[in-house]
Structure 1
Amino acid sequence: MDLFVIEAPMKARTLENLLARLGFSAKVQATKGHFFQMPKSLETVGIDVQMREFARVGDAGIIQRLRAEAQIADNVIIATDADAEGDVIAWDVAEVIRDIHPNPLRVRLRALDDVSVKEAINAAVPVSKADAVAGRTRAIIDRMIGAGFSRPDLSVGRVGTALLGLLDKAKPSVFKMQLVAPSKDGGRPWMAEAPCTAPFDESVGRRLVALQFPMLAIGSQRTICPPPGHTGDCMVRAVDQLDMSPLEASDAMQNLYEVGRLSYPRAGSRGMSTASAARVAELLRKAGYNTDPTKIASKAPEGVHDSPHPIGKVDLNSPPAQLGHAEGVRALIARDLVKSGQTYIEETAVAAGLIPFLTSHGFSPAVAQAVASLNWRRESGPRYPGQNSWPKSELQERRADAVILEMAVEANLGRPSTWGKHIERFMSRNLIDDRMRLTAKGRAWLARSPAELLDPRVSAAIEMACERPRPDAFTDPSREPWEINAERIVKALPPGLRQPLERMVAHEPARPKVDPVEALGLRNSTLAEIEARDASPAYVPQEN
């Protein structure tokens, strides 16, 4: 029997049943997420001068269970999530069973359906320490930043502080204008969208949506196939249309994945493999929409996962809001995928004539120029679910967390696996009011936070550096590659960040590497118990 190791207990039964259908004799064991942890408190950073996480300890119960199951398994296949966090857990699993199974395999599941699982198993590769470098490096850097700059009344973090700086600089709005103008050819009207940010505001927006705009003429046209959305796109749509928080949207997508109803939900790709596109096209055909799989954008070569897509029957005709959160999210994703497999003609309008029109109605030249510069467009082509062919001008009020999520995605703050938690944490701190203006607390935190961390470009640059270790990070046998990578990143930070972080760990002497199995006294303990049991005399009933 083989042992499959995953993260989420909820996914175990789904995968176990699926493996049985595919003919595998397998046991599925869950790690329940990260089973090696640093202390929750930041009072002690737990990182030494050479960037070693000496306070990182494993859960003895989970480790014992993994080793016990590995002892009786023919092969060990690690199928933790195929993202940076899953790669960290995969290497931790490999480390704690390496004396039992020195060469476990790594399987990256794109979805929990028969075809996807079979494909993933056929593409299994050895577990790689290099894959864990990004996640381990990020954990070191983020903990150092949190411990180094936070105070009892001030929380500083690489992503959260960058969000605060981004909101202060961008001055976003919960209001969004949808403006509509008739077409001179009598066809579908032209539409333009814009948030109510400078030179617009809520008052200007309300005046603009009340106008009867003059007719506009066609300026240009092109053929388009809208690409599938990545996780952030799907989450923004769910928050906007289903009145969910980003964390609720993220959790709904994760739960759907774990029960085999959605492909991997933490994808940064806006594209699909050929095989996945074909399966999606067939699913949509059964739902009543013809979709050409060859028109669905291919994922980038470096992309591991396909864009999120539903698995199994999906309802495309009912309003998604009536289907509940989980099925509503699936329906929204599927509706967008219909367009991704079809060709549309996108036309843009000549809108320069709006400038004199708007100034004659009392709008400032800046507002008039901004409205004329918007992307006035319309589409023609095959039908798709939820289509609104004749929209009207309106002022839409969005959830603040939807706006912040959208900004985080565009600024490369965080990752698909962390967007929901970051936005939820930010919103819980009462740093902005219901119109997205900084509160007194928000302004105080802004004034006391490191200026460098308020710049989202610094956070994005750190993220990129975590994911791109240099080759020399793997050359020192006395150190781990993530330690070397973290040290390089800290040294490259601006002085205002680098110097406090270096001082924080300077007093912690370098620690030697610690074998987690030996540290817990588990080396071959399970094997010894089995051997002792097998060597003991068998029980023989005595005759009377």
Structure 2
Amino acid sequence: MRNLVIVEAAGKVDALRSRLKSIGLHADVVATVGHVADNPRSLNPIELDSDLRETAYAFREDRQGVIDKIRRAAFGADRIYVATDDDQEGDVIAHDVARLLSDYADHLYRVRLRALTESELKESFGGTLSRDFDVPAHHGICRRIVDRAIGAAFTLVDEHSAIPVGRVQSSLLASLKESPPDVGHFNAAIRMTDGKVLWANIPVATKAGLDRASELAELAAQGRVKLLEAVERDEPVARPWGYEEVIAEASIRLHVDLYQAADVFQQAYERGLVTYPRVRANGFTRDAVEIAAALAEQNRCGFDGAYLPLRESSDIQGRAHECPRPVDEDMLLGRPLAVLDLPEALAVLIARNVIECGQLARVRKVRVGVDDEELTFSAALTQARKPWKTAEPDRGFVATPRPVALLRHMAREQLGRPSTVVGHVMKFMQRGLLEESAVGMTLNARGERWLAHAASVGFHPDTSARMEEAFSAPMTDPHARAREILSGHAMLDAVRNKALATGVAAVPDEACPEPF
């Protein structure tokens, strides 16, 4: 029997082929290397009809070599496993591959991989496989239609310039104006009568906030505080990281930019060091607890798996995503990050986080009043056993790199998706919409002008998140759902008018649709 496995990333091909052999599945493995089909890049014409059906979505001419390779590989295959990424973008790519290979529909199966481990591969390829490529893709198709409709209908273009409008970035502009993100924190300290130093982490979003934090820290250091509450209790040393927090921590600790951090995360996944990266989750599977317990024992760490939050399987496949975690039980966690290559270093960071989520520390917390405000100071009285050190805080202001601060803000506000959020951050930073010298993220004149146009269209800080909820809800017709979403935001009439009209071609760079 001849088997074919189709994945997205070329970096997975060799590793997956080798690991499949270890479970007795001999297969050819080819990669789509991203999307094989797309809409035209130009937004004008809109290429949507009045029912929001795409009129020019087609296989990409610039990917003809990849398309031909996939077709050749599929010829004569008895079983074709489409193992594109287990997210909505992967479902869209799988749907396009199924259309491309429609002559082999009886041989096509959808496979979802959370990690490139032997147990995961056995579960994914050995269980009941789905033959449905349509319904899972509805969510991503709906998002693609809405994003194109918004960009085409509302981007303001004249002969000199353009003011782009996009679901995520326009909501981000409104969000930054209404609630500026933290761009750092101020470490303030007080010394207790027993000599113990306790720390308060004061978030800073603006220059005024920085000045106020400095003032409060000075008052606290002078002892000009009023004790409101003092407690001691056991608390987890860490909380689980999602995709954005892994990227943020990797960028800061490994001294790379966000694009590099995202690439390193993908490499770590493709090498079988960590589970699937692009997820927002709040817990772990029971497999993760077992791996963490084995890692903790090997590295002589204190650990209790009962403290790890569990994520039960609840999606349509009966298997849910979990927070990123290691897959290697033999990893040494005490090694300096500087002696490791970047994917290994990132995997160690993730493993340390998981271990610390299963550790408790005795913490003293003191809540005090300072100049009519409240601050909470704390310090660990006990340290869980582990072979790596936790850095002591320094007094004063600790700035967060702007891209990292923006990434964390977008994650908190549910703007974008893990598959696109880094691209959104870097694109926004390149557009020159912020004051360069200010503490904080203050819109400059250009940013204010773009925001005013987005607001006139009807964008608010929560517009993208509300649309995202509608994209994620069950649906039977992505086009009908797209019409409902745009109608609910008073945008449908303008989109339909655009579909019936022609105009000046959009500026290719600035007026391109938001990334999927």
Q: Which TM class, normalised by the smaller chain length?
A: 0.7 to 0.9
Unaligned runs of 5+ in 2: 503-516
Tell me which residue corresponds to 2:278: 266
2:33 counterpart residue number: 32
Aligned counterpart for 1:444 among listed residues 436, 440, 449: 449
How far 1:243 moved relative to its partner?
Answer: 3.5
Shift of 1:453: 5.4
1:331 maps to what in 2? 348
Query: Among residues 367, 372, 377, which one is paired with 1:369 in the alignment?
Result: 372
Partners in 2 of 1:176 and 1:385 — Cα distance? 27
Higher strand share: 2
1:147 partner amino acid? A
Query: Of the candidates 280, 299, 307, which is equivalent to residue 323 of structure 2?
Result: 307
Tell me how far apart the structure 1 counterparts of residues 397 and 239 of structure 2 sit (CA, whole Å).
Answer: 27
Residue from 102, 113, 120 that aligns with 2:117: 113
Instruction: Deviation per CA, 1:148-167: give whole Å up to 9, x if none.
Output: 12234212211111111211
**Whole-angstrom CA distance in 2 between matches of 1:165 and 1:117:** 44
- 2:360 is the counterpart of 1:343: yes
Structure 1 residue 52: Cα displacement: 1.2
Runs of 5+ consecutive residues of structure 1 not aligned to the other structure: 356-367, 475-480, 509-544
User: C-alpha offsets along residues 177-236 of structure 1, whole Å, 9 cap, x if unaligned?
Assistant: 12222234544x322212223695333334445562538686234443344211122122
Structure 1 or 2, whichever has the larger Rg, is: 1
- Kept in 2, the 8 Å contact 1:175–1:397? The answer is yes
CA contact (8 A) 1:103 1:126 kept: no
Matching residue within 202, 206, 218 for 2:210: 202
- Return the alpha-carbon distance in structure 2 between the equivalents of residues 142 and 38 of structure 1: 11
**Is structure 2 residue 47 aligned with structure 1 residue 46?**
yes
* Code of the aligned partner of 2:350: I
- Determine the structure 2 residue equivalent to 1:518: none
How many residues in Structure 1 have an aligned counterpart in Structure 2? 480
State the one-letter code of the partner of 2:205.
Answer: T
Matches of 1:377 and 1:432, distance apart in 2: 35
Letter of the 1:155 counterpart: P
- Alpha carbons 2:368, 2:376 under 8 Å: kept: no
Task: Give the match's secondary structure for 1:194.
Answer: strand
Whole-angstrom distance in 2 between the partners of 1:442 and 1:167: 10
Does 1:165 find its partner at 2:174? yes
- Which moves more between the two structures, 204-213 or 54-63? 204-213
Alignment of 1:134-153 (within 5 A): 134-150=139-155, 151=157, 152-153=161-162
Q: Which residue of 1 aligns with 2:507?
A: none
Aligned-residue offset at 1:396: 0.3
Measured in 1, the distance between the counterparts of 2:191 and 2:126 equals 55
Decide which moves more: 289-298 or 105-114: 289-298
Partner of 1:190: 198
The question of 1:485 aligning with 2:489 is answered: no
Conserved? CA contact 2:292–2:355, under 8 Å:
no
- For the residues of structure 2 that align with 1:156 and 1:247, how far apart are their CA atoms? 23
Write the deviation string for residues 472-522 of structure 1: whole angstroms up to 9, x where unpaired: xx3xxxxxx2112212212211x2x333223222469xxxxxxxxxxxxxx
Letter in 2 for 1:332: L
User: What is the CA–CA distance in structure 2 between the aligned matches of 1:34 and 1:319, rounded to whole Å?
Assistant: 38
Structure with more relative contact order (C-alpha pairs < 8 Å, separation 6 or more): 2
TM-score normalised to the size of structure 2? 0.85
Shift of 1:113: 2.0
- 1:190 to 1:69, Cα distance in 2 relative to 1, 3 A: same
How far does the alpha carbon of each residue in 1:78-137 deviate from its partner, in whole angstroms, 9 at most, with x for none? 111000000111122222223323252221111112222222223452142211111111
| Matching of residues 217-296 of structure 1 within 5 Å | 219-225=230-236, 226-296=238-308
Aligned to 1:521: none
Instruction: List per-residue Cα deviations over 1:411-466 (Å, max 9, x = no partner).
Output: 00011111111101101111113432222321222222234654221100101101
- Please report the TM-score for the alignment, with normalisation by the length of structure 1: 0.81
